[in-house]
Amino acid sequence: MPERICPMCGRSSKEVPFIGNLCRDCFVKRYGVAQAPSQVEFTYCVSCYAHRAQGRWSAPYPDLRESLRDYVMSQVVPRLRPVAPIQELVVKEVEPGEGQPPREVYVRVEGAYEGVRAEEVKVIKVVPRPSLCPVCAARKSGEGYSAVVQLRSYPRPLGGDKESARLVRWLIESMSDEVVKVEEVKEGLDVYLRDHGAARALATRLRSEAGAKIVETFKGGGRKVKLYVSARLATIRPGDVIEVEGRPLFYLTFTPQGFMFIDLDRGGRKVIPPEDLWDKGFKVYDGPNLRRAMVLSKEGGKYVLFWEGGSLEVPSSDVILLTEEASEGQEFLVYLSQRRVYLLRREA
């Protein structure tokens, strides 16, 4: 091969490798190794650092530079073309600049021509387009939900019953990834969820763990159909007396089968599933057989109870304690059935 002299720097092909008519260094200086876009738009989520590429959003990123690096790797690197006569191109490194967001990205690329390797660092300007991805936007605005769980409670307001409020809060928090927003309304809580499955999962847990009655309805149609789940929560506490179909029931505890009561008139336990309780209807018992009474004495095998406007002597065997041991002088909420006297709970 005849000797060549570089017209830019005057060096000989005996000293330095050549690419075409120029020495390698001058070739890279003049033409570069690769053709790359001078700038790229970078649409990213200010909240989770996901980026948008070809109309789609990526998964979230722990930091923005990593998101930009992946974006450039997948969207810019495949579009790099070697500068003729260079044939092969290898991207060695993609390094976003400093700054939040970075304003440029450095792409180190190596080309090869007939065994001569040449390297160039492309500086690509980054045009940041800060945005909110649909997931974060949905979470922020409350749009983008497809199901609503409407929690309603009776007889106590949801906030008025610590036990059930805590349970409900815990259930909602355990699904926070799916929850778009939670809105307090006059009647209770509206929980907006991303999809139907999440709403059903929440409803199932509200039923099995809090005894809610669940009813599903749909609104709208097609792909935008929204699922509304009504979850009715009986905010009764152990020790409450409620009335179901005219019968006074003393509430003991919630079991997997439903609410467990003592039937105060008939005696014996009774379990009512949540659905039945709502279907039959219930209210706080305020009938005449319930009163506040004092234990005057419990000697000689009998109890003497006293209340304003009356008193009662009853054999100890007919007294049923649903509370701690009764002492003389203490006041109790008392239920007088035809056969028995129930001491329901201590009154301060």
Site for Zn ion contains 227 (CB under 5 A): no
Question: Three-state DSSP class for 23?
Answer: strand
Closer residue to Zn ion, CB minimum distance, 8 or 116: 8
d(CA 46, CA 207): 38
Q: Are strands 319-321 and 341-347 parallel, antiparallel or unpaired?
A: parallel
Query: Among 18, 19, 26, 61, which residue sits at the site for Zn ion (rule: CB under 5 A)?
Result: 26
Stretch that binds Zn ion, among 44-52, 90-98, 107-115, 120-128 (CB under 5 A): 44-52
- Contact region for Zn ion (CB under 5 A) — 6-14, 71-79, 199-207, 220-228? 6-14
Token pair, residue 101, equals: 């967001």
Distances in Å between the Cα of 216 and the Cα atoms of 29, 139, 147, 231, 273 are: 69, 23, 10, 9, 18
Q: Give dist(CA 233, CA 255) in Å, integer.
A: 15
**16 or 271: CB nearest Zn ion:** 16
Q: Is 189 in the site for Zn ion (CB under 5 A)?
A: no
Q: How far apart are CA 245 and CA 105, in angstroms?
A: 74
Beta bridge partner(s), residue 120:
109
| Residues facing 299 on adjacent strands | none
Residue of the chain from 34, 45, 191, 334 that contacts Zn ion (CB under 5 A): 45
Neighbour tally for 172: CB within 10 Å: 20
Q: In angstroms, what is the minimal distance from the CB of 90 to Zn ion? A: 23
- Type of residue found at 241: V
Please state the closest distance from residue 173 (CB atom) to Zn ion, in A: 20
Distance of CA 144 to the CA centre of its chain: 14
* Least distance in angstroms from the C-beta of 170 to Zn ion: 26
Q: Exactly one of 13, 39, 43, 47 binds Zn ion (CB under 5 A); which one? A: 47
Least distance to Zn ion, CB of residue 272, Å: 46
Q: Which one of the spans 21-29, 109-117, 221-229, 336-344 is the region binding Zn ion (CB under 5 A)?
A: 21-29
**Is there binding between residue 109 and Zn ion (CB under 5 A)?**
no
What is the phi/psi pair of residue 325, to 5°? -55, 135
Which of residues 60 and 159 has its CB atom nearest to Zn ion in the complex?
60
CA distance 216 to 200: 9
Contact region with Zn ion (CB under 5 A), list: 5-13, 165-173, 304-312, 321-329: 5-13
Q: For Zn ion, how many residues bind (rule: CB under 5 A)?
A: 11
Q: How far is the CB of 122 from Zn ion (least distance, A)?
A: 21
Among 5, 8, 80, 271, binds Zn ion (CB under 5 A): 8
329, two tokens: 């002088």
Write the DSSP symbol of residue 51.
Answer: B
Rounded to a whole number of angstroms, the minimum distance from the CB of residue 11 to Zn ion is: 5
d(CA 45, CA 37): 23
Q: Please give the backbone phi and psi of residue 328, each rounded to the nearest 5 degrees, phi first.
A: -65, 140
Q: Does 9 bind Zn ion (CB under 5 A)?
A: yes
End-to-end CA distance of the chain: 111
Residue closer to Zn ion by CB (options 26, 322) is: 26
- Spell out, one character per residue from 121 to 140, where the chain touches Zn ion: x when CB under 5 A holds, - when not: ------------x--x----
Indicate which single residue of 23, 33, 64, 180 sits in contact with Zn ion (rule: CB under 5 A): 23
Give the DSSP H/E element, type plus range, for residue 128.
strand 116-131
Interface residues with Zn ion (CB under 5 A)? 6, 8-9, 23, 26, 45, 47-48, 50, 133, 136
